[in-house]
Structure 1
C-alpha cells in the first residue's frame, strides 16, 4: 500500500477511489470519430456511458461505506422501536437509565479496545484488568478517593505498558501476550483477595462512591463520564496526529514506517490506553456496586470486541469509528434488556443472540470488503 493510500485510510474514509471517479475516457466512436454517430454525437454518447458506469460504482462505494458505518445504528433504532411497542416497561425512564448505566462500564472498555483494533491489534486482558481495577479501587477507597482512583490506573496502565512493549518491541503476537496478561491480572486479583474470599467494601457515603452512584441532570455520573470519554476519544482518533498514526499503523505498518510514523510508540500507547480505560471502568463499577466484586469481568473482553466490530471497526485494522463502538455497546445492552423483558428466556440466550449478531456483522463486512476490492481491481 502506498503512502497516499495510507493517508486516505487514516482519514477514516473508504480508501482510494475507483479509477472511474475521474474523467471518463473517450468511448469508441468518440472525439476521434471512428464510430457511428460522428465526432460530436459519439463523444457525448461515450461520456454519458462512462458517467453511468463509473457513477454507479461510486454510488455503490458510498452505500457500502454507509452500511458499514451506520448499520449498527439502524439496527439499534429498529430494535428499540420494536421493544418500545412490544413492552410497556422498556421505554420508561428508569429502564432506559438502567440500560445506560450498565452500558457505561463496558463502553469505557470498548473505547480502549477500539484504539487497539484500529491499530491492527487485539487485547484479551481487559476483562481481568477490569476486575483487578475494581478490587484495587475498593481497597484504596479506605485511604481516600485519590488513592481509589490512582491505584487502579497506575497498576492497570502498567499492565498495558508491558503488553505494548512485548508486542511492539519484542514483536510477540498480541493474542499470546494479552492472553498471558489476562491470566496474570486475574492471578494478582485472586492473590489480593485470598482466592476471592475477601471482598473490599466502599463506604456508600464516601466521595468515591458518588462517582458511581451519584446523579447529574437526571443521569448517573458514570454515563456522563462515558460520554465525555467518547467525545474526547473521537477527537483524538479523528483530529490528532496520534489518531492518524493509529489508522496508518493498522492500515499498513510498513507504509506507516516509511511515512515517518513511530510504529513502536503508537502500538505501546494504544495498549497503555486500553489498560488505563479498563482499570478506570473497573474503578467506576466498584464505586457503583460499593464493593470490589471478584467474579466480574469474565468474558468482558469478548463483549468489548463484539461491540467494536458490530460498530463497524475492521478486525484487520486501519478503519474504525469511536461512535460506532458506543452504538455497538448500546445495541448489545438493549438486546440483553429485551431478553430480560421477555422473562421466559434465560441469560444464555443473550450470549447466543450476541454471537449471532457478531457472525452476521463479520459476514457482511467481509462481503462488502470483497465487493469493494473487486471494484477497485476490475478494469474500467
Structure 2
C-alpha cells in the first residue's frame, strides 16, 4: 500500500511592516498642537519668567495666580461646554456679578442660603437661554446678549443702582468657603480643580459628553442619530448659568461682599481662554483640560504684567487679543491641514 506524503509547508515570509505615512504623522501633530498647544506655551512662559523675574517662581506667587484664576476658570468651564455644542454665552459676566450680590445678601441666613439662592436664580437664567435657543430657534448671540443686559439690570435694581453693597460676616462659614486654605491654596482653587475633574469625566466618559461633540459637529446628523439635540443645548446653557452663579458666590465669599462693578468683560476673557485652550469656536471639538491651561496662561500673563510694573493691566487685553488671533488662525490652518490629508 503506497503511503501518501504530505508536502511540508514552506515557512511564510514575514510581512513588511508598514511605516506610518507622512500624512498620518502630520495629522497627528496637527491634532496634538490643537489640543495641547496652550499647555506647551504655558510651560515655556513659566520657565522663562522664572529666570527673568526671581519673585515669579515663588510659592506665594503661584498661590496668588491660582486663586485669581479659580473664579474665571469655573465660568470658563461652563463656556467650554456651550462652545463645544456650537453655541456662545455672553451673559456669564453679568450672571457672575449677580450671583455674588445674591450670595452676599443671602449669607445673613447661613451658608446654604448663600449658595442656593444664586444657583437657583442664575440657573434659571441659563435655562431661559437654553429654552429660547433650543426650543424657539433664536440665535445664541442675541439671546445671551439680552440676558446679559437683563442680569445686569436685576443686579442694579437689587443694589439700588449700585449704592448698596451687601457684606458677608467675617468668620462665617460662607466667608470661610472663600478665604480658607489647605496647604496654602485657597478653597476656591480646590473647588475649581474638582469641578474640572468632574467636567473631564462627564465630557469624555459619559454619553452626555459625547452628545455635546455630536451636536457641535452637526446638529442635523445628531438628530438623525436620535440624540436629544434640544435637551442637550438646554442643559449646557443651564450648566453655564449655574457655574457662573457659583463662581460669583465664591468670589463674594472671598471678598466678603457682593461687589456690583465686577464681571464686565468676563465673558470675553472666558471665551478667549476656551479658544486658546483648543476648543473650536464652530463646535464639535474641545476639552476642559485645554480650557484650564488657557485660563492659567492668561492669569500668568496678567501676573507678568504686574511683575514688570511699568505696564498697567490694560495691556493684558492687548496680549489676550493677540493670543486669540494667533490661536484662531492656527486652528483654521490645522483644521484645513487635517481635512486635506
Normalised by the length of structure 1, the TM-score is 0.85
**3-state SS in 1 of match to 2:55:** coil
Aligned to 2:134: 168
Q: Distance in 2 between matches of 1:201 and 1:92?
A: 33
Q: Counterparts of 1:189-338 in structure 2 under 5 Å?
A: 189-338=155-304
Contact in 1 for aligned 2:276/2:327 (Cα 8 Å): yes
Q: Deviations over 1:295-329 (max 9, x none)?
A: 10000000000000000000000000000000000
CA positional deviation for 1:347: 1.2
1:114 aligns to 2:80 (yes or no): yes
Q: Deviations over 1:173-228 (max 9, x none)?
A: 00000000000000000000000011000011100001100011221000000000
Work out which of the residue numbers 127, 139, 147 in structure 2 matches 1:181: 147
Work out which of the residue numbers 345, 357, 369 in structure 1 matches 2:323: 357
CA positional deviation for 1:93: 1.2
Could you list the runs of 5+ residues in structure 2 that have no partner in the other structure? 1-14
**3-state SS in 1 of match to 2:21:** helix
Work out which of the residue numbers 67, 81, 91 in structure 1 matches 2:47: 81
Q: Which has the higher contact order (CA 8 A, sep 6+)?
A: 2
Q: Distance in 1 between matches of 2:307 and 2:241?
A: 34
Q: Deviations over 1:83-140 (max 9, x none)?
A: 1111111111111101000000000000000000001100000000000000000000
Work out which of the residue numbers 119, 122, 127 in structure 2 matches 1:156: 122
Contact in 1 for aligned 2:27/2:337 (Cα 8 Å): no
Q: Distance in 1 between matches of 2:210 and 2:36?
A: 21
Mean alpha-carbon deviation: is it higher for 216-225 or for 285-294? Answer: 216-225
Q: Distance in 2 between matches of 1:212 and 1:149?
A: 12
Q: Deviations over 1:251-272 (max 9, x none)?
A: 1101111111000100000000
Aligned to 1:128: 94
Q: Distance in 1 between matches of 2:276 and 2:224?
A: 32
Could you list the runs of 5+ residues in structure 1 that have no partner in the other structure? 1-43, 376-380
Q: Deviations over 1:319-374 (max 9, x none)?
A: 00000000000000000000100000111111100000000000100111111112
Q: Distance in 2 between matches of 1:257 and 1:217?
A: 48
Q: Distance in 1 between matches of 2:314 and 2:71?
A: 21
Q: Counterparts of 1:37-56 in structure 2 under 5 Å?
A: 55-56=21-22
Q: CA RMSD in A?
A: 1.2
CA positional deviation for 1:82: 1.0
Work out which of the residue numbers 56, 73, 83 in structure 2 matches 1:90: 56
Mean alpha-carbon deviation: is it higher for 366-375 or for 296-305? Answer: 366-375
